[in-house]
Every structure is written in structure tokens, then in C-alpha cells.
């Protein structure tokens, strides 16, 4: 169970504070902030014990989203709840930033009231919360340079701060009351993350691709959305893993996905609730690293082309131990390494939707989560 819940700005100012169980004073956030800032760098452990209570926090968008507990609560519950809370706040306030939270304090409180009762988590389901809350989100200015830093791609910690968020999606999912519609748009992203380790002799040691399909819908009202995936998809060992097939080790779907046609036709049917995040579709592939880095920017690359580059690094005559593995960071737009693609996307327009067909945006993207070549 949760004793207190708070959201602090990066400077330690209290944006939201809720004391669910009436225990503990009002100074816990200060104690927390002191504890966090006394640690060097980003080393703050997820769990900290101070003054008889346990703090757990996650950091998103420069904010500390934290909770305290005085009892032996499952740490997974706490961490998972905070992460859900962050997602929900994003959905309701558009973006998660100091400004959007402080403008929407009343709404956030209302949400918290529905989610947590006396420190017990009641529900985090968007649909339930949507029907239970009545506040309206106030939008903040969609895009500012300051926010750039904090917005990673899909919440991932990308090293590339250049990934500008498409300001189109930085708005609350719920349309303001009375203002019916706006543009109805659907954004679908097929993202794959690579975790690859290649040995010094060129053999891959570990290759792991983790993909996800993310959907963010701005279509007012419930409409059915159908998407067709690559037909060669086979899940687990249910079918033979022949040539040209696309085997997936495991899949997991959101509860609102209707899988009726999935097995036969690889079609997902979704009645979208408000969805996730998105960033701008323009990317360039490039190669870059940390402190000792080498950058190779490829502005455009034609299909089927192969690009090569030879880098010769002159090292001072020191022991070879100084030369570590090479880590590659890159993003490939319009490509998924596994070959999973969205064949088509259909929307059944809801009655009362604004005129005109809804806009559909589909993106494929491969992101190098951890791509290491041993030297």
C-alpha cells in the first residue's frame, strides 16, 4: 500500500502531493529530495529508506514521480504503479512535464482519487478512469525547446536528443468537452529494438529483437480499427519455422485487442482507447558514440545499397586494454529488421465523427537499443 504519493519537479518543488493514509508529516518530499540529490549523478537507487519509510521513485521527463510506504508492500506493485501513473498522466495531460502537471493539478488529483483509496490501488484501467473523471485537461504549449531534452523516443532513453517530438501528438487524448473532434487521426508505429553483441571475429553472440506496435488514436468516439500484419508471422512453435516465415518467440497484446482474426489472417482488431506516444517521422541514420566517439551521418541511403566505410584509428602505444568494444547507436526509419510490417490499416468511421476520412499515419522504425561490436 502507498502512504504518500508525490510528483516533484527537477528542482524539488512539489507539484502534486497526496497523503493517503494520514501518517507521516508533510516534509517527506523534502527528505526525499535531499536523499536523491545527495547522491552523485543518476545513481539514485529505485528504493531508498529514510526516516522509517521507504521511498520508491521513477524519473520521467525530468520529474520525480515517487511514493512512500511504511509497510512491506511488493516493490513490483509500487514500481509498476508509478510507471502506469506516468502513462496515464501522459494520456490525460498530453505531455508529462512540470508545466503540464502544474496546470492540470486538479485533474491529477481527481485521477489519483479514483486510482488509489487509502493507499490501496483500485484500478489503473484507462477505460474505467475515463468514465470516472470529470475534469478537463488544459493543454500546455505543445512544444518548447526546454522539453526537447526530456522527450525520448517512446519513453526510451535515446542518446539522440535530436528526436524532436512531433508536436501533433503532444496533446491530451481526451478532447476538451464541447469541442467536438478536431482532426481525427491515428498514429501507428512499428518499432523494433535491437540488442546485438558481435564477437571480435564477426560472429554474432547474442541477437535479440524486441518489437512493438504502438497506437495512438485521436479519433473521437469508439471506432473499430483493423490492421493487417505480415502474413508470414508465426508465433512460438505453433507452425513450422520454414524459410521465409517470420517466427516470433512470444507475443503479448493489450487487453483491448480482439484477436479473432489473428490466427487465420494475421489481422488485429482494436477499438482504440487512447494510446501511447509518438515522435516525428523524419530521421537520418548515423553512427555515434559516447566520450570517445566516431560519428558517421548518412543522410540518405537507397534501397538495396550497401555502404561501407573504413576508419583507421591511430592509437598511442599503450596496452590494448584501453580499447573497448564499439557501441553503435542508430535508427533506421521505414525498416523493421524482422520483416514484420503493417500491410494495411482500416478504420470504420464512427457515427458523428467529423467529416472526411481519418488521417492515418504509419511508421516503421528500427532502433538500436544496444548494438555492440567487440574489438
* Binding positions for another protein, 109-128, rule CB under 8 A: 109-110, 113, 117-118, 120-125, 128
Interface with another protein, residue 142, by CB under 8 A = no
Give the range of 64-72, 89-97, 146-154, 334-342 binding another protein by CB under 8 A.
64-72
Residues of this chain, 297-356, that bind another protein according to CB under 8 A: 318-319, 321-325, 327, 348, 350-352
Smallest gap from Cβ 44 to another protein, in A, equals 10
Cα dihedral 140, 143, 144, 146 sign:
positive
Residue 53 beta carbon to another protein: minimum distance, rounded to whole angstroms: 9
In the list 202, 242, 291, 303, the residue contacting another protein (rule: CB under 8 A) is 291
> Under rule CB under 8 A, which residues in 25-44 are in contact with another protein?
26, 29, 42-43
Of the residues 34, 37, 45, 293, which one makes contact with another protein according to CB under 8 A:
45
User: In terms of CB distance, is 181 or 281 closer to another protein?
Assistant: 181
> What's the min distance (Å) between Cβ of 116 and another protein?
10
Convert the chain into a string of H (helix), E (strand) and C (coil): CCCEEEEECCCCCEEEEEECCCCCCCCHHHHHHHHHHCCCCCCCCCEEEECCEEEEEEEECCEEEEEEECCCCCHHHHHHHHHHHHHHHHHHHCCCCHHHHHHCHHHHHHHHHHHEECCEECCCCHHHHHHHCCCCCCCCCCCCHHHHCCCCHHHCCCCCCCCCCCHHHCCCCCCCCCCCCCCCEEEEEEEEEEEEEECCCCCEEEEEEEEEEEEEECCCCCCCEEEEECCCEEECCCCCCCCCCEEECCCCCCCCEECCCHHHHCEEEECCCCCCCCCCCCCCEEECCCCCCCCEEECCCCCCCCCCCCCCCCCCCCCHHHCCCEEECCEEECCCCCCCCEEEEEECCCCCCCCCCCEEEEEEEEEEEEEEECC
Nearer to another protein among residue 43 and residue 295 (C-beta): 43
Instruction: Give yes or no for residue 252 binding another protein (CB under 8 A).
Output: yes
Of 20-28, 145-153, 182-190, 331-339: span binding another protein (CB under 8 A): 20-28
73 binds another protein (CB under 8 A): yes
In this chain, which of 21, 214, 226, 245 binds another protein, going by CB under 8 A? 21
CB of 168 to another protein, least distance (A): 20
Mark the segment that binds another protein (CB under 8 A) among 13-21, 142-150, 296-304, 338-346. Answer: 13-21
Minimum gap (Å) between residue 247 Cβ and another protein: 14
Taking the least distance from each CB to another protein, the nearer of 21 and 280 is 21
CA 250, CA 241: separation in Å to the nearest integer? 14
Q: CA 267 to CA 259: how far, in whole Å?
A: 7
CB of 246 to another protein, least distance (A): 16
Q: Which among 88-96, 161-169, 255-263, 296-304 is the span making contact with another protein, rule CB under 8 A? A: 255-263
Chain-centre distance for alpha carbon 359: 22
Tell me which residues in 169-188 interact with another protein (CB under 8 A).
174, 177-178, 180
244 binds another protein (CB under 8 A): no
Q: Is 195 in the site for another protein (CB under 8 A)?
A: yes
Q: Which is nearer to another protein, 62 or 281 (CB)?
A: 62
The least distance separating another protein from the CB of residue 361, rounded to whole angstroms, comes to 21
For another protein, give the closer residue by CB, 178 or 299. Answer: 178
Which of 77, 168, 337, 345 binds another protein (CB under 8 A)? It is: 77
Q: How many residues make contact with another protein (CB under 8 A)?
A: 105
Amino acid at each position: 500500500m502507498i502512504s504518500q504519493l508525490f510528483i516533484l519537479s527537477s528542482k524539488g518543488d512539489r507539484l502534486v502531493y497526496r497523503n493517503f493514509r494520514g501518517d507521516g508529516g508533510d516534509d517527506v518530499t523534502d527528505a526525499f529530495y535531499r536523499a536523491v540529490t545527495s547522491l552523485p549523478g543518476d545513481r539514485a537507487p529505485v528504493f531508498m529508506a529514510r526516516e522509517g519509510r521507504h521511498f520508491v521513485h521513477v524519473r520521467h521527463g525530468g520529474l520525480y514521480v515517487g511514493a512512500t510506504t511504511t509497510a512491506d508492500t511488493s516493490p513490483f506493485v509500487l514500481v509498476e504503479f508509478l510507471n502506469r501513473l506516468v502513462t496515464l498522466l501522459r494520456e490525460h495531460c498530453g505531455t508529462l512535464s512540470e508545466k503540464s502537471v502544474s496546470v492540470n493539478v486538479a485533474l491529477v488529483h481527481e485521477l489519483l482519487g479514483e486510482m488509489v483509496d487509502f493507499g490501496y490501488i483500485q484500478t489503473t484501467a484507462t477505460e474505467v478512469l475515463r468514465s470516472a473523471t470529470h475534469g478537463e485537461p488544459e493543454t500546455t504549449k505543445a512544444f518548447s525547446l526546454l522539453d526537447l531534452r526530456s522527450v525520448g523516443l517512446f519513453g526510451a532513453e535515446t542518446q539522440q536528443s535530436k528526436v524532436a517530438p512531433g508536436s501533433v501528438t503532444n496533446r491530451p487524448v481526451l478532447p476538451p468537452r464541447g469541442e467536438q473532434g478536431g482532426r481525427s487521426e491515428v498514429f501507428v508505429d512499428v518499432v523494433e529494438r535491437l540488442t546485438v553483441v558481435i564477437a571480435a571475429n564477426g560472429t554474432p553472440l547474442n541477437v535479440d529483437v524486441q518489437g512493438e506496435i504502438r497506437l495512438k488514436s485521436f479519433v473521437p468516439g469508439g471506432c473499430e480499427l483493423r490492421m493487417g500484419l505480415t502474413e508470414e508471422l508465426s508465433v512460438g512453435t505453433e507452425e513450422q519455422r520454414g524459410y521465409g516465415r517470420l517466427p516470433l518467440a512470444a507475443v503479448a497484446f493489450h487487453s483491448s485487442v480482439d484477436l479473432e482474426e489473428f490466427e487465420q489472417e494475421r489481422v488485429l482488431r482494436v477499438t482504440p482507447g487512447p494510446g501511447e506516444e509518438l515522435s516525428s517521422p523524419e530521421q537520418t541514420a548515423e553512427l555515434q558514440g559516447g566520450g570517445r566517439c566516431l560519428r558517421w551521418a548518412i543522410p540518405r541511403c537507397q534501397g538495396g545499397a550497401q555502404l561501407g566505410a573504413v576508419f583507421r584509428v591511430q592509437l598511442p602505444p599503450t596496452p590494448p586494454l584501453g580499447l573497448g568494444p564499439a557501441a553503435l547507436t542508430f535508427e533506421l526509419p521505414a525498416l523493421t529488421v524482422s520483416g514484420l510490417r503493417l500491410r494495411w490499416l482500416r478504420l470504420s468511421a464512427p457515427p458523428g465523427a467529423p467529416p472526411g476520412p481519418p488521417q492515418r499515419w504509419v511508421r516503421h522504425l528500427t532502433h538500436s537499443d544496444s548494438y555492440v561490436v567487440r574489438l
